[in-house]
Structure 1
Amino acid sequence: MHRSAPRLSRLLACAAVPVMLVAVGCSSDSGSESDGKKNEGSSSSGSADTKKPSAPAVEPAKFSDLPDPCASIKKKTIEDLVPEAKKKNGTAGRSNDLSIRGNCSWNGLDDKGVKGSQYRWLDVGFTRFDSDQSLGSGAKRATAEYAKQIAKTKASEGAEKVAAEPGKGIGEEASVITYGLKQTDEDFEYATVVARTGNVVVTLTYNGAGYAGAKTPSKADITKGALKAAKEAVAAVEATAESTATPPAEDKAGDDAKSDAKDDSKASPKAG
């Protein structure tokens, strides 16, 4: 009886061992499954945080302002093209924002008495486009407007013998459209120059007619005058970029250094 008690204790101890092993095994499996779920969660959240690449920024607009349309053409040119102009300084058109859109016109009747009279009219207009992420660069938008103005001019109501050719040496691209038009029982000769420089479109129209028996001006003369004025108008636009440009930092530093050296020379006593 006394010997059976120790033996019984040993049997119970051995019987408990498999139970502990099973418990340990379950604990290990549970941990691996939990780790797997965590890894899946971290992987999915990482892919969700990945951002789509942003669209490339559009090219900045070349011009941020426009010149005064009434001052864009030289006074001497106005005198030559529009003799006896009613307003020498031109008549400015209305605009809500002169940095975006503006125009100016001149007209006059040169009365030659019994030889008749010559009428001339000149108009210049500017349209500037800013760069926009959703609409495109200013230059791209101006290119679309340039084509639109050419098509609009060619489709002028009542226009006869419409012809178009490139306007060489004017801006980045230019076209000159010529046509005849009957107005106030007189034959008018027209020339319209549409030009683009950077993000600005320039539209210039010059026309004339002879009254009281005077001859209608020739197509060649009207075209020549329109091209001359258009070149000056485009040059005025391009000059706005130069007038608003800031000097490079190194140049400014050099100017400051020269100024300091000049002040030092004034302060130092001259050698005897």
Structure 2
Amino acid sequence: MHRSAPRLSRILVCAAVPVMLVAAGCSSDSGDTKDTGSSTSPSGSGSAEPTVEPAKFSELPDACTSLGKKTITDLVPKAKTKGGTAGKSSDTSTRASCSWNGLDDNGVKGSQYRWLDVAFTRFDSDQSLGSGAERATAEFTKQVAKARAAEDAQKVAAAPAEGVGEEATAVTYDLKKTGEDFKYATVVARTGNVVVTLTYNGAGYAGAKTPSGADILKDAQKAAKEAVASVGTKDADDETSPSASASAKASDKSDDKDAEKNGDKDGAKSDDKS
């Protein structure tokens, strides 16, 4: 009887050993699973979203000064407002326009009427909408379609306008209004992320001869090329602002002073040697 107690204790201890080993094994497996899960977390396998191309132009020119005085005088000889009439815009950095019109009265020989309008539209690059250039290309297509669908237009024709921006289309048509025959030319051009739309038309009044459609188109293309060239000038002006010029001058003066000091030192060394 007395020997059976120690023996029973040994049996219970041995029986408990496998349970402890199983528990240890489960604990080890749990730790391995957790480590494996952390090494393949979704955050480590994500890829960055591609960015769109930055917009080329950040500003628009002043629409009423985008065409030179000589151009206005040639195209609208008797303009009512030489400086043009600016169109309404809530943000002139993205949308701006200006127009001129006038009647050149030649007495008994009749009168010549001319009307000129230039409009600029700029697009910023947007991650969800696309690059400024892509958005401007879509607007370019839209404006060409709009010009070709002018109400009551006759003899509508469209052709590429060479040498105007990165892409350009000239749309011509005839239109009868106020009892006179008008000749129209609209040139739509794109440069970078900016669309330029220039419309020029004319008519002869009081027996005056109707202007040539070819001449109206030629003048419109010339003016459109000038308007496109004005895009980006404001950005360039910002880079050469008075503050930037002052900084450059200060830098030049500093360089001059350093040169003078170095020159004095070199002169002193030369005197010592002699």
TM-score (norm 1): 0.87
- Mapping for residues 121-132 of structure 1, pairs under 5 Å: 121-132=115-126
- Contact 1:63 1:240 (C-alpha < 8 Å) held by counterparts: no
Q: Does 1:17 align with 2:3?
A: no
CA distance in 1, matches of 2:224, 2:42: 57
Q: Structure 1 residues 113, 255: CA separation in 2 closer, same or farther (over 3 Å shift)?
A: closer
Are 2:27 and 1:40 equivalent residues in the alignment?
no
Structure 1: how far apart are the matches of 2:240 and 2:74?
36
Q: Is the 8 A contact 1:116 1:210 kept in 2?
A: yes
SS of residue paired to 1:119: strand
SS of residue in 2 equivalent to 1:153:
helix
Alpha-carbon offset, residue 260 of structure 1: 2.5
Which of these residues, 66, 75, 81, is aligned with residue 81 of structure 1?
75
Structure 1 residue 113: deviation in Å? 1.2
Partner of 1:165: 159
Alignment of 1:251-270 (within 5 A): 258-265=252-259
Runs (5+) with no aligned partner, structure 2: 242-246
Per the TM alignment, residue 155 of structure 1 is displaced from its structure 2 partner at its CA by 0.5
Q: Alpha-carbon deviation of 1:19? A: 2.7
Which of 91, 104, 108 is residue 110 of structure 1 equivalent to? 104
Instruction: Report the CA distance shift for 1:16/1:256 in structure 2 as closer, same or farther (over 3 A).
Output: farther
1:156-212 Cα offsets, whole Å, 9 max, x none, are 100111101111111111100000001101000000000011111000000000111
Work out the number of aligned pairs and report it: 261
Aligned to 2:21: 28
Cα displacement string for residues 36-83 of structure 1 (whole angstroms, at most 9, x for unaligned residues):
233334444552544632321111111110100000001101100111
- Contact residue 109 and residue 117 of structure 1 kept, 8 A: yes
CA distance, structure 2, for counterparts of residue 12 and residue 203 of structure 1: 108
**Identity in percent:** 57
Matched residue SS, 2:98: strand
TM-score, length-normalised on structure 2? 0.86
* Partner Cα distance (1:198, 1:47) in 2: 42
Unaligned runs of 5+ in 1: 248-252
Contact 1:194 1:204 (C-alpha < 8 Å) held by counterparts: yes
Distance 1:269 1:35, change over 3 A: closer
State the Cα RMSD in Å.
Answer: 2.7
Q: Could you list the per-position Cα deviations for residues 128-172 of structure 1 after superposition, in whole angstroms to 9, with x for gaps in the alignment?
A: 111111111111111111100001110010011110111111111
* Distance verdict in 2 for CA 1:47–1:107, change over 3 Å: same
Change (3 A) 1:137 1:42: same
Alpha-carbon distance in 1 for matches of 2:154, 2:207: 22
Higher radius of gyration, 1 or 2:
1
SS state of the match for residue 206, structure 1? strand
Residue 187 of structure 1, aligned match among 181, 188, 207: 181
What letter corresponds to residue 19 of structure 1 in structure 2? L
Equivalent pair of 1:172/1:197 in contact (CA under 8 Å):
yes
- 5 Å-filtered alignment, 1:94-243, equals 94-243=88-237
Q: Secondary structure at the match of 1:152?
A: helix
Q: Is the Cα contact below 8 Å between 1:62 and 1:241 reproduced in 2?
A: no
- Summarize the Cα distance change of 1:257–1:87 in structure 2 as closer, same or farther, 3 Å threshold: closer
Q: Residue 216 of structure 2 aligns to a residue in which SS?
A: helix
Local SS of the residue matching 2:41: helix
Deviation for aligned residue 1:238: 3.1
